[in-house]
Amino acid sequence: MAALARSVLVTGSNRGIGLELVRQLAASPRPPQHIFATCRDPKGPRGKALQELAAQHSSIKLVQLDTVNLPSIQGAMQAVGYHLKDQGLNLLINNAGISSHATLQSLDSQEMLDVFATNVVGPLQEFLPLLEQAAKGAGKEGLSCSRAAVINISSKLGSIGLCLRVPEAPMYPYRASKAAQNMVTRCLAAELQVKGILCMAIHPGWVKTDMGTEEAPLTVEHSVRGILTVLASLSQDTSGTFLDWEGNSLPW
């Protein structure tokens, strides 16, 4: 089985789904040559699990990245570009995100803006030049994660078609931000297809993480195994889609 991609960058990789993505990618039979594990403070106490993982796998490079801070984004792009030389970045997994349980009554405009900045604006700004470089130099036709791809970790709570469980979990800022992120994904897919870059959104399930809580039915290991299986199957036909961790199509 071929490697999913030569180079992969995962945002928000110090815990939860991001950390498990890095762990399973590094432990795969054909791991990527470069796994860029990014978070706001990879060398701090919250990055301890990531540091331990990187000590076990030479393919993992820790990169400081705050997805709402332009100097941080520019610094991360330079660091990643230095490692990749002129080969570009094959796969960007936008996993960094924040939640909010604000109700209609407790909703605060600044909280809404903060959630949008991380969940929507951040993924718009990152690493497009490196992805374009990879798409041009891959020597491949069609779209795939092994050529160049942007994967946005979304949520079916952002599905306007489903509009799930609003009375139990209003989460206005989070839902609205994920609906907006989904629109960004569709726009990116339409615009970047001609450049050879695949874009899609994936719902990881309700997962036992700090964000998902222990009430969630799905382990992070199970979710990430499913996500990676789905990513390996993506092609021109699935660019611009919204799928779950099992490959099922979801309504926008």
91-126 per-position pLDDT tens digit: 999 999 998 889 989 999 999 999 999 999 876 767
Question: At 50, is the secondary structure helix, strand, or coil?
Answer: helix
User: Which segments in the chain show pLDDT lower than 70?
Assistant: 1, 123, 125, 210-213
Q: What is the dihedral of CA 110, 169, 212, 64, to 10 degrees?
A: -20
Structure confidence at residue 21 (pLDDT): 98
Structure confidence at residue 215 (pLDDT): 74
- Backbone dihedral angles phi then psi of residue 79, each to the nearest 5 degrees: -65, -45
Structure confidence at residue 141 (pLDDT): 85
Beta bridge mates, 198: 149
Structure confidence at residue 97 (pLDDT): 92
Longest Cα–Cα distance of the chain, Å, equals 54
- How would you classify the pairing of strands 34-39 and 7-10? parallel
Structure confidence at residue 96 (pLDDT): 93
Structure confidence at residue 1 (pLDDT): 57
Structure confidence at residue 165 (pLDDT): 82
